[in-house]
Amino acid sequence: MGSVQGRGMVGLAVLLLLAACAPARAQEPPDAYIIKIDGMITQAYSKAVQRKFEYAQQQGVGTIILELDTPGGTIQDSRELADYIFERDELTTIAYINDDALSGGTMVALACKEIYIDDRLGTMGDVAPIGPGGQIVGEKFQTVLRESMARYARAHGYPEALVQAMVTKEVEVWRVQMQDEPEGTYTYITGAQREAMTDEEAAKIVSEKFIVPAGHLLTMDAQRAVEYGFARQTVKNIQELYDVLELDSTKVRRLYLSRSERLLTFLDAFSPLFIVAGFVLLFIELSHPGFGLPGILGIGCFVAFFLVKWTLHYVHLLELVLFVGGLLLLLVEVFITPGFGVVGISGIVLVFISLVLAFQQFGLPASPGQTYAFEMNLLKVTGSFAAAGILIAVFARYLPSLPLLSRIVHGRDLAAAHAGELGELRIPGLSQMAGEVGVALTALRPAGRAEFGDRLLDVVTEGGFIEKGARVQIVEIRGNRVVVGPYREA
């Protein structure tokens, strides 16, 4: 009996020991994490990848593999992510290009300590900065990129001349072998460096080959990426990469973007559209009496914009105060101050400044890179204002005649002012009222109410401001609205 109890106690002790050891084994960190970048690199995407790096370091993992299949993204955000990776000296960062790492994707790859590339579909290169109109921007911006990429190249042993040829199409590159270099070892020089050689230096050239002609941006397939010294070697798949790196595939874990991070990335890509939609919807709201769906949607657009930027740590209290203060000044200008002057202009300036600052993590630029980012952000916000202005002009001209929008925009409040069959039913003879004179019961900015004899109508001006109590005259019955202008005695 005692022996049975003894064996039971031993068995229980073994089970307890196994239970104690199991969590410890489960908590063992992997040998490496792999993160896939497979879309446009935006502010949100860059921040999400940086958070994955921080998580990996917290788990004690020293190797991170970036699987790249991206056309790049905004230069500002790609450069920010590349700089972050480049500064992780404590980590072994490996770029696996599968299939494409173009533009900003190439920047991220060069920032890693090692590059491997798919032998069939892998492509890298073409990092020329593109402006909003699709054109390559000038030398001022290209210099910033060349400096960043040259820093990566010097640290990791990549040919600087070829890096320049990825950014600037005017750069031509030669591959030369000098007398004092071992067989099979080459130096890459630009055309300008080749022309600047003295006769003595040129005489030491054993062989030379023209690699990149002027007028072409360098883009490399897998074989040329290896030949030119960027990729360590080509691989057929991820398993072969594990074998090359001597990693056990069972001890490599993937870090995926969460649903919230993917949603944030999606919304961030449409940040300028939120600005445009917000202004247009608020204009529609202010152009009609009451408060309805356009106003709610307009406010929602700006809330979504600032919420995304707040989550990315681009927006702080200053930006919010400037934006709200600017909107309040605009409302004062619209509803209290006649005409449009200093108050309204000040409101626009505050709103503009707040939106520019919401796209960046610094105030005034203090480096060439920040200057480039600042100018791009100015273009984004200016373009958003211009697009909103064009749409507002279109809506101001055609909104009242669009049946769908006229039903959405305060249909309940505008019922009394509808022309057509409904207007005639409520106010007989409305279509014959053109030319009648009345009094503005509210300020017309440009919409409001006016009294014509015993008839109270919702009216709209052709864009001008008319003070409360001023005499107005119906100049036109246009579709479903009554258009008025200041009354001028003959």
Tell me the DSSP string of 321-340. HHHHHHHHHHHHHHHTSSSS
Residue 179 lies in a domain: no
Same domain for 427 and 395? no
Kindly state the percentage of the chain with pLDDT values over 90: 47
- Residues with Cβ within 8 Å of 53's Cβ and at least 6 positions away in sequence, in order, are 35, 64, 84, 85, 88, 91
Q: Indicate if 49 and 59 belong to the same structural domain.
A: yes
Q: Distance between CA 11 and CA 16 in Å, rounded?
A: 9
Judge whether 234 lies within some domain. Answer: yes
In this structure, the chain runs to a length of 490
Measured distance between the N- and C-terminal CA atoms of the chain, rounded to whole angstroms:
125
Are 90 and 60 spatial neighbours (Cβ–Cβ below 8 Å)?
Answer: no
Helix (H) or strand (E) holding 447: strand 447-452
Query: CA–CA distance from 137 to each of 34, 272, 390 (Å)?
Result: 34, 20, 25
Domain count of the chain?
A: 4
288 falls within a domain: yes
Task: Give the span between the Cα atoms of 388 and 186, in whole angstroms.
Answer: 55
Last residue of a domain, one of 232, 258, 284: 258
* CATH code for the domain of 419: 2.40.50.140
Q: Residue 335 belongs to what domain range? A: 270-403
pLDDT at 413: 41
pTM value > 0.95: no
- Asked whether residue 16 falls in the same domain as residue 50, the answer is no
Give the distance, in angstroms, between the CA of residue 344 and the centroid of all CA atoms in the same chain.
29
254 with 301, same domain: the answer is: no
Q: Are residues 339 and 429 in the same domain?
A: no
Claim to verify: residue 1 and residue 75 sit in the same structural domain: no
Confidence tier at 213 by pLDDT (50, 70, 90): very high
Model pLDDT for residues 358-379, shown as the tens digit of each residue: 998 888 887 777 787 888 889 8
Residue 445: predicted pLDDT:
73
Provide the 10 A C-beta neighbour count for residue 428: 9
Q: How far apart are CA 451 and CA 304, in angstroms?
A: 41
**Same domain flag for 443 and 395:** no
Residue 155 lies in a domain: no
pLDDT one-digit tens code per residue, 107-117:
999 999 999 99
In a domain, 147, yes or no: no
At 262-277, the pLDDT tens digits run 888 888 888 999 999 9
In a domain, 467, yes or no: yes
User: Could you read off the pLDDT of 77-110 as tens digits, one per residue?
Assistant: 899 999 999 999 999 999 999 989 999 999 999 9
Average pLDDT, the chain: 84
Residues 7, 2: Cα–Cα separation, whole Å: 9
